Chain A
Amino acid sequence: MSLENKILVKLKSAGFRLNDKWLVQGVSLQVEKGKIVTLIGPNGSGKSTTAKIALGIYKKIDGEVEKYTNKIGYVPQKISIDWTLPLRVKDFMSLTENLEDKTINEALSLTGVIHLKDKNLGDLSGGEFQRVLLSRAISKKPELLVLDEPVQGVDFTGEIALYELIKKISEDLNCGILLISHDLHTVMSATDHVVCLNGHVCCSGSPIDVAKNREYKALFGEQASQTLSIYEHKHDHIHTSEGKIKKN
């Protein structure tokens, strides 16, 4: 590991509050070039919020965000497109940056949806649309990719292929990836750094370290870390509802 790894985005105890309720707070993490950082955590633990803080979508935040790149590709978790717009897949590909036809074709081929290029976006299935979203994000060859559940609704074999593609992209483009995933197997095999969230950072580190962590087990169950040796750390707080922390 070289020391020259360029930091792309850095959160310093960042948090976001909506109507006096903290969605997430005290998150510190950084994404470097060529590295995959994965956010895991239960529903409502602030994974998407953290991604949106990193992207600058949420502006009134606590703490700090430092962004060192403007070449960003984003796959949001939820996207609702208004069908008053006649929009084909190829129009959607050039949404935020004009791309050459060749680049569009390459990106669509990578995720296996080149045949949908001239189709209307509204006619795609959920899984097809998800693949288009992913191709759009990678087509502009970003330095930072933020993928919020990028394979939701994709069939099982496709899921594996897409995760492999994501790993390959991070190597080929040497871009940094902030990934949000529910699939713990993928997290364990493809990730450089895992951040486990539950309203705040529960634990973080390499996948193996996190899997050994007690908090991780408390969140995901014993099975999730079964194959790994047991590592205990002193858990100095408990969680109340809404992910608040109560010191023991």
Chain B
Amino acid sequence: MLDDFFIRALFAGIGVALVTGPLGCFVVWRRLSYFGDTLAHSALLGVTLAYSLEFNIALSVFIISALIALILINLQKRTNLPGDALLGLLAHSSLAVGLVVIGFLSFIRFDVMGLLFGDILAVNVNDIIIIWIGGAIILLVLKFIWKSLFASTVNYELAEAEGLDPDKAKAIFTILMAAIIAISIKMVGLLLITGMLIIPAAMARNISNSPQQMVLFSVIGGLLSVIIGLFTSLEFNTASGPSIIAASLFLFILSLLKIKQSIKLKN
């Protein structure tokens, strides 16, 4: 018989995978992996602030991540530094500040490993509700901006010329990124969230030939990763985050085999 905590983790993981699937495709298409990383690293600061102020974790992470995204956009306009340097600067400084703040919170029992790599034991009913409601809102908003976001991902000027609003779509997408990190942090851990976004989407890219198909396979890949990962985590008592990401890596490797096969067929 499966334990209650495991069922909870499964529900939470499935909710996360349904959202990371489509968002992850855009992260791959728009080359935003390091942007995702930066937001995720800043999440630690959000978590520590939530603990010290006794505030909701997801909300606090969301606010801090969105703030970091705003600072990034501002720095891009004000400085001549290249984008990757700015991303690194924000990622590591916010991670460092977060860890320093943790040092000051010695009166609270803190599971740093759980924060970094995810902890299925920590998932409670409240978290599941936040994941599912938050996830539903993210998907709805994504559906709403899909046309503009997708068209401008293909070609900014075409989208702009033909009456869509790429700039607005981009700004909203940034907020969605902060939101998905906020709701999935307990599940996957802040070091591995970007993996959850990228690896299933990368796997899907290998085996699909249209955008819709890629989104679908990315969702399926994410779901399978969560299910396989959580069962392994239960079986071998490993942290949930790394187990899920390892499972998605396994699926990615399988998708490479498919590519090899189709190249053989072509020849």
Q: Which residues of A contact B (CB under 8 A)?
A: 52, 55-57, 70-74, 76, 79-82, 84-88, 91-92, 95-97, 120, 140, 146
Q: A86-B209, A95-B151 are in contact. List 5 more A-B contacts (CB 8 A).
A: A57-B161, A74-B161, A84-B28, A91-B212, A96-B159
Tally of contacts, chain A with chain B, CB under 8 A: 73
On whether A85 and B158 interact (CB within 8 A), knowing A72-B163, A96-B151, A96-B164, the answer reads no
Q: Which residue of B154, B163, B211, B214 contacts A81 across the interface (Cβ within 8 Å)?
A: B154
Q: Which residue of A56, A79, A82 contacts B158 across the interface (Cβ within 8 Å)?
A: A79
Cβ contact within 8 Å between A95 and B160? no
Cβ contact within 8 Å between B210 and A96? no
Cβ contact within 8 Å between A76 and B154? no
Cβ contact within 8 Å between B161 and A87? no
Say whether chain B's binding surface is mostly helix, strand, loop, or mixed. Answer: helix
Q: Which of B29, B31, B153, B210 neighbours the largest number of chain A CB atoms within 10 Å of its CB?
A: B210
On whether A55 and B160 interact (CB within 8 A), knowing A85-B153, A96-B151, the answer reads yes
Q: Which of B151, B162, B164 neighbours the largest number of chain A CB atoms within 10 Å of its CB?
A: B162
B184-228 interface (Cβ within 8 A of A): 205, 208-214
- Tally of B interface residues using CB under 8 Å: 25
Q: Which residue of A86, A92, A95, A96 contacts B163 across the interface (Cβ within 8 Å)?
A: A96
Cβ contact within 8 Å between B29 and A95? no
Cβ contact within 8 Å between B162 and A96? yes
A to B CB contacts below 8 Å, 13 in the list? A52-B157, A57-B161, A74-B162, A76-B157, A81-B155, A82-B29, A84-B29, A85-B154, A87-B154, A95-B158, A97-B162, A120-B209, A140-B162
CB nearest to A95 among chain B residues: B151
B147 at the interface (CB under 8 A from A): yes
- CA distance in complex: A87, B155 (Å): 12
Convert B141-185 into 0s and 1s, putting 1 for each residue whose CB lies closer than 8 angstroms to a CB of A. 000000100110111011111111000000000000000000000
